[in-house]
Amino acid sequence: MRTYNLCILGFGSIGRALVALLLKKRQELQTRYAIDWRLTGLATRRLGWLADPAGLDAQGLLRGEMFAAQARQEENVQDWLARAEADVFFELTSLNVETGEPAISHLRAALERGAYAITANKGPVVHAHADLQEVARQHDTRFLYEGAVMAGAPIFAMFRDALPASRLLVFRGLLNSTSNVILTEMEGGRTFAEAVQIAQEMGITETDPSNDVDGWDATVKLCAISTVLMGIPLKPHQVVRESIRGLSPEMVHAANAQNKTYRSVGRLERSADSVKASVGPELLKRDDPFATASPASLISHFELDVIPGLTMILHAPSDSDMPRTVAYDVLADWLRALER
């Protein structure tokens, strides 16, 4: 049985969910996959760069115990990975829409030392997918990113493993649950500002909700889908983007009275070697599957040259379940990497 040294960069809700899942699944990993693990590296702004090749106390970290003696405040990612003797690197930092950095550099450093590099960050997929895949090839390792889009629904693995020789022509998706929650609250009589506040109290959007309500989150996800599944690199500035801020309570109520509803929908449509992309509010009939999904659910609909319609729905009772589903995607990517 091989024991892998795991390093995690970012210890927010997803990082904590990943460590909890690793602990929960430890015996199953041993019996079904003949592997074990130890957490040898953890880096956050608050903790600094923790590393111990003998293994950190994962349960202690979940309890909030600090390990200052094992931390360094000033270190680059290459030195940290080397000090932790990393075999697997989980990059779980926040999104940089414009450049994808510094996550791209972190992932490249891991790949260059031969470690598996796994991320839930959309930025590196959009801004450096081809480059990182080439670095992975050169060093005989893997770069994987299932958790970056529609967490819990394996859209990239589905195309890679289950849909060979297929060509994605059209994509339509509900890719941002925060927008769904806000529009649902507005249907219930809330103003836009009140609905945003509710989303913030639920912990599903930031103090500045721009990435969600202005369509940036869905835009970057569309770019990732186009880049990976269509093979057409797409950058955020190429997507026609419309905010949901322009929807007044009166517009939402009028739609509701007509048995219709607004949802922020992302679209891709292939045209030869280019793609038309947009994100914005659309008026939907109540029987549209995109209208009937629960506010925290995500939907992807694919039209392929060999399949006229394939829809994947991720049902979530609430957005608070998302860290656990992203953590599972990250864990599953590690297991996929081992299968190569």
pLDDT digits (tens, 9 = 90+) for 271-314: 988 999 999 999 999 999 999 888 878 999 999 999 999 999 98
Alpha-carbon distances of 289 from 83, 187, 218, 303, rounded to whole Å: 50, 18, 18, 15
- Same domain for 181 and 100, yes or no, is no
- Same domain for 224 and 297, yes or no, is yes
Contact 5, 53 (CB under 8 A): yes
Q: What is the pLDDT of residues 71-125, one digit of tens each?
A: 666 578 999 999 999 999 999 999 999 999 999 999 999 999 999 999 999 999 9
pLDDT of residue 319: 56
Query: In the predicted model, what is the mean pLDDT of the chain?
Result: 92
How far apart (Å, rounded) are the C-alpha atoms in residues 260 and 258? 5
Count of structural domains, the chain? 2
DSSP characters over 180-212: HHHHHHHHTT--HHHHHHHHHHHTSS-SS-HHH
- Same domain for 172 and 284, yes or no, is yes
Which residue type, as a one-letter code, is found at position 151?
A: A
- Same domain for 169 and 238, yes or no, is yes
- Same domain for 167 and 295, yes or no, is yes
- Same domain for 292 and 235, yes or no, is yes
Domain extent, residue 223, equals 161-316
Element spanning 137, H or E: helix 122-138
- Same domain for 88 and 167, yes or no, is no
- Indicate the pTM of the whole model: 0.93
Q: What is the pLDDT of residues 140-173, one digit of tens each?
A: 999 999 999 998 899 999 999 999 999 999 999 9
pLDDT of residue 42: 95
